[in-house]
Every structure is written in structure tokens, then in C-alpha cells.
Amino acid sequence: MKGNEQSGISRKDFVKQFSLGLGALGTGVFFPNMLSANFVEGTTLNPKKVLVIGAGLSGLAAAWELKNSGHQVTLIEARSRPGGRVSTIREPFADGLYAEEGAAAYSSSYTHALKFINEFGLEKIPLAFPDTAITYHLNGNIINVKPGETVNWPYNLTAEEQELGPMGLVQKYILNTLPNEIGMPHMWDKAPLIHLDQISLEEYLKKQGASEGAVKLIKNTQWFAEVPGSTSGLSMAVSDSGLFMGGTPFILKGGNDSLPRELAKSMKDNINYNTVVSKIYDDGNKVIVSARQDGRIKDFTADKVVATFPLKVLENIDFKPSLSPEKKKAIKDIPVINLTRTYVQVDSPFWMENNVSGMAFTDLPVGNITPIVNSNGISDKPAILESIVAGPSAPRLESQDKEKTITRMKSEMKKLYPDIGEHFMKGHVKGWSTDPYALGGPSWPAPGDVTSHLRNLQEPHGNIHFAGEHTSILRSTMEGALRSGVRAAKEIHENV
């Protein structure tokens, strides 16, 4: 969610908002912050020449830690910018408008992110609750829910479930039932957390007594429940409930890419952009990385390599010697969740005239909708309605012409905002499965995947170390990416 700056929310107000079904929120109420930071310590007496592949958050964190510890670091990045899937777009929007193509929010529980955010003095903007109605399109019904209003949710729910609403259901069936260890990600491979990997989010909800209708309501209103039957209960518990919802969510003023841009700026002399890696050869003494840079093949040589390719890109890299069968299987088997984001710019936030927030949760092909307004909240300036479609339908959207996607999403939005055609200016589409340097959204382990594959994803391959959110129990988060980069840096620094 996005909104104007606010100082925080009291427990009383939080519980009140829970009953409104506003979607996932960082709370800082139910879970203590047990996510301790663990960075590289000391300056090396035996500096290594390290090549970091990828200038996303994981690569930037690894490079930062290694450089500050005395190692000789070079970063190579396929794109012309840093950040990877942390991507803030400012074009083609009107002046003052920007939107996030990738990672949507940080949390005050993100210890590693906070270290870097504070290091660069970046301004945090807490996410605010809308003070006008949120729109729901569920099971053929359109409902505008005002703050404090009780509504009839259009599913077969128990009387208690009806009273609770979407976030009340999350509180009852998830937050109140998970073990305290969800705030201790290092405990992921021990009881009681490890047992959660054997069941899906949907199975977990039903074990706690959730009705079929409650599962559907949670699915259509919560970002982490898009594919409840294919989501590891462990990943949901640690990454979504214990981490993100264990703190207050916020965005960075000027865009979430402010963090990777500042990290990259501090290492600008160490970064090579527009450099696409194809082969990595480790002869036991040094590593040779072959890449295409400005249309020509260029080889980079290093003592150690940190590889931060996204999962589906990693499948296409030629490693010699070949990766272990266990690592290959892990790379192939771990799913990613595909995301298509469509941005419809309008000449003004016209929905305000009807006393609705512009935010919508739906079971329509348009997915969920977030309003993005001028940072000063000026009502007569252009604004954006952003559609987020996640899961199996996203790649199908991306396979068609972008103008067709914009037209279709605008048509779906018209069911919620009948006047949108009169205000439409332009559109933009970001499909992550068609992005050649991502080939999909973040990792999304299914039941059993964490137990079977996480250790193999983390394991070094000779002089090649691996990082990325998919190598962290904190999957699909910026914090997970940062921590994975620090972990890879520590492996190199402490074993030189």
C-alpha cells in the first residue's frame, strides 16, 4: 500500500484496521524484533580479487562488505542501472509521479536494509491507511468499505469470520497461531519451524479451522496468499508473517531504488554495466567469467566470484566444472511467482470525488489496484492506478502486445471506476517473466522446497559463491537479498 506520511499507528487503531480487511500491514505489535544483524567484521590481511555478478541488492551488499573489508572488488551488471528487481520508474509518467516496478516496501524489521538506509541518510515514509473507502470486487459483488464499517463479505463464512473480515482472519488463523520462532529466521531448519515446510499455506489455514470461504477471502485480499495451495507454510511464516509483518512498512522518499542507487554510487568506480555473463569457469585457482560487453566478448578473472543471478537466469549460465546435481535440481525445481504490473495514468485522482481511496482488492483479471498520487496529494494533478497481477495468469498477460494489456486492464478497471475512460492519459506495463535479466518474479517455494533445496542453493561451488533472495529463508524480500549478499561476503572474507 502507498499513502501519505504518518508517524505510526497505535495498538487500538491497528486492531480496528484489522477488522476492516485492509490487506497486509507491518505491525510491530505481535512479534518482537529478533532479527539481529550480522555483518563482515575486520579488515583482511589476505585481500582477494573478487568479482560480483549482479548489481541488485544482494550483489551490492556483497560488494560493499568485501570492499570495506579490504578486498579488491569488481561488480558487473547486465542492465544499465543498479537495483535488479528493485526498480522505480519515472518515465513515461508526468513530472512528480513515479511507481515501483518491483519491490514495493521495506519494513522496520529489516535490520540489514536499515543499516544501509541510515548509512546514506535516506528518508523513510511510513505507509498510511486510507481514510476513505477501500473497494472490493469479490464473487461478483462490489463493496466499498469505509473505515469502521461492518459489511457482508460475499463468501460462505462462519458468523465469526464475517465479523472479522480479511485481516481479522489473518490475525485469527495465522498471526495468533504461529510459533514465536517465526521472528528467528536462523531457526528455519529446526523445530518447530521446519515442520511448517511440509504443508501449504492453504493446508495450514484449514488446520487452524478456516472455512473454504475464509481461504478464498484471504487469497483475494493478501499479497502472500495468491497461490495458497502452492506456498510453503514455512516461507509464509518466516518471510511474510515473522519478517515483513513484524515491523512497520515504509517506502523511501523519491523511490525504493534510492537504496541501490546510493550503494552503487559509492562504488561507481567498481561497476561495469551492460555486461551480460554467459560462462563461468573455475580452474581451482582462479575463476574466469565470460561476458558480452558493448557487443564484444570480454573475460574477467578473479580469485572468487559471487553470483547473484535470479533463479531462472541462473539455469542458463554455463558453469565449468558443472554444478552439482543437487544444486541443478534446486535451481530447476524452486518456483518463482510471476508478476505483471500495469500502470494507468489519469489526469487526476478522480475517484476521490466519490469518497473512495482508489485502492481495490479483486478477484478480477486486473488483480489488486493501488492508487499513486502526487507526493503532495494535489487532487488536480495526474495520478496512477496500478494493477498487480500475480501467479499463473501473469505470463499470459505478458505474452500479448503491451497496448492490448493496457486496454484490457483499463477495461477491467472500468468495472470499479466507471469514469476512467474520460480521464485516461497513458499506460505502462512491466512483465517480469519477459525481462531477460529476471525471467520471472521472486522465488516462491512450494511445500517441501525449503527443506529439500535451500542449503543446496546456498552452497558454494569451488571458488563461486551464491547470493540472491532465493538463497535466503526470507524469500522475495529486499532484506533476504541483502542478507544473502552479506552471507556470501562473509564466506569469502572468513575463509581466505
| Residue in 221, 218, 223, 226 with CA at minimum distance from that of residue 244 | 223
* Domains in the chain: boundaries: 11-30+128-247, 49-84+256-334+442-493, 97-127+336-434
If phi > 0 it is left, if psi is from -120 to 50 it is alpha, else beta; for residue 281 that is beta
Helix, strand, coil percentages in the chain from 3-state DSSP, rounded to 5: 35, 20, 40
| Residue in 220, 214, 167, 216 with CA at minimum distance from that of residue 364 | 220
Instruction: Specify the pLDDT at position 42.
Output: 87
Instruction: Specify the pLDDT at position 490.
Output: 96
CATH architecture observed for domain 49-84+256-334+442-493: 3-Layer(bba) Sandwich (3.50)
CB 48 within 8 Å of CB 303:
yes
Q: How far apart are CA 358 and CA 133, in angstroms?
A: 8
Q: What angle do CA 68, 70, 75 make, to 5 degrees?
A: 70
Instruction: Specify the pLDDT at position 179.
Output: 94
The C-alpha cell at 26 is: 507491518
Q: How far apart are CA 156 and CA 149, in angstroms?
A: 20
Overall fold of domain 97-127+336-434: Polyamine Oxidase; Chain A, domain 2 (3.90.660)
This prediction's pTM: 0.92
Please provide the distance, in angstroms rounded to a whole number, between the alpha carbons at the two ends of the chain: 44
CB 429 within 8 Å of CB 341:
yes
Instruction: Specify the pLDDT at position 376.
Output: 56
Going from the C-alpha of 485 to that of each of 56, 263, 491, the distances in angstroms are: 10, 13, 10
Q: What is the pLDDT along the chain (496 residues), one digit of tens a residue?
A: 333 332 233 333 333 333 333 334 444 334 444 445 688 888 888 999 999 999 999 999 999 999 999 999 999 999 999 999 999 999 888 778 999 999 999 999 999 999 999 999 999 999 877 889 999 999 999 999 998 788 999 999 999 999 999 999 999 999 999 999 998 999 999 999 999 999 999 999 999 999 999 999 999 999 999 999 999 999 999 999 988 888 889 999 999 999 999 999 999 999 999 999 999 999 999 999 999 998 899 999 999 999 999 999 999 999 999 999 999 999 999 999 999 999 999 999 999 999 999 999 999 999 999 999 875 555 678 999 999 999 888 888 888 899 999 999 999 999 999 999 999 999 999 999 999 999 999 999 999 999 999 999 999 999 999 999 999 999 999 999 999 999 999 999 998 6
Instruction: Specify the pLDDT at position 95.
Output: 75
* Contacts of 246 by beta carbon, 8 Å cutoff, 6+ apart: 26, 27, 28, 30, 31, 32, 33, 35, 107, 109, 182, 183
Unique residue bearing C-alpha cell 556483497: 62
Instruction: Specify the pLDDT at position 377.
Output: 53
